Amino acid sequence: AASPTAMGCGAGGRGRLLLTVAAVLTLLTRPPGSWGARIIGGHQVTPHSRPYMASVRFKGEHFCGGFLLRARWVVSAAHCFRDRDPRADLVVLGAHALRVAEPTQQVLGVSAVVSHPDYQPATHANDICLLGGGLNSSAVLGPAVGLLKLPRSGARPPRAGTLCRVAGWGSVSDFEDQPPGLMEAEVRVLGLDACNRSWTGRLKPAMLCTHSEDSQRRGFCSADSGGPLVCRNRAHGLVSFSGLWCGDPKTPDVYTQVSAFVSWIWDVVRQRPHGPQPSPPGVPAGAA
């Protein structure tokens, strides 16, 4: 089985080089039309029709996704912020095409990242965090910037076969081609037992899986991490990790199951109503 690959900004130049070499070696074996699938096997959404989507940037470049929970709070994946000074990050809201200066865009600073205290980088368990701006960095809600609801605390994940959607600005192919705008793919929930068999028993209880349910590769790719899996208009999952090949049915996409963390999320928000307090450089607040 493939090793899990976090879908953040990548594992560095060496990881990207290995991925590119592997892709070149398999070029002749790939079926016609498999290049350039959108998000992977998705499509570009109507601009600003997903107003809850957030792009997290580091030194001006998109590297992870997230969603707006409250005007001062964005939910994302904890692995995106390991060993990173959050003060170098920016959150972009109201965007469709990231490289275009859209009048709808709002750019907010990040004062701190509150990672789940039990986040385990080695297993991707509890891969969830909250990030927010300082007292003067609050999103202005409107047609292009809106909130996404959480599931009920402790709710069971959507049943296997449930149709959901995952969106992001991550790569639209294994060669890290960038998308023209926000991309989205429709995927179906895969039962955790079946998913765990594909991952040879490495999954944890508070995880959720999806697959394409057909022969087409469909799912998330590099730099989609932290983006929401939306089922019935609620954020039931957060993009966490997958296999080497984006959308490969042999290694189903794995998400953090949000309903398992709703109580923790609201505890953090209630304790810090004006946003998180600044963390020391390189140390996410709440990190174990």
Residues involved in catalysis: 79, 127, 225
Q: What is the dihedral of CA 194, 199, 201, 206, to 10 degrees?
A: -70
> Is residue 148 within 8 Å of residue 228, measured between CB atoms?
yes
Phi first, then psi, for residue 209 (nearest 5°) are -120, 155
Rounded CA separation 216/251 (Å):
14
What string of DSSP letters covers 153-221?
A: TTPPPPPTT-EEEEEESS-SSTT-PPPSS-EEEEEEEE-HHHHHHHTTT---TTEEEEE-SSSS--S--
User: Residue 280: exposed, middle, or buried by beta-carbon count in 10 A (0-12, 13-18, 19+)?
Assistant: exposed
Nearest Cα to Cα of residue 95 among 158, 62, 144: 144
- Tokens 């969603």 locate to 67
Rounded CA separation 41/152 (Å):
30
Helices (H) and strands (E) in the chain, counts: 3, 15
> Is residue 203 within 8 Å of residue 147, measured between CB atoms?
no
Helix (H, G, I), strand (E, B) or coil at 148: coil
Could you give the count of Cα atoms lying within 13 Å of 15 in the half-sphere of its Cβ?
16
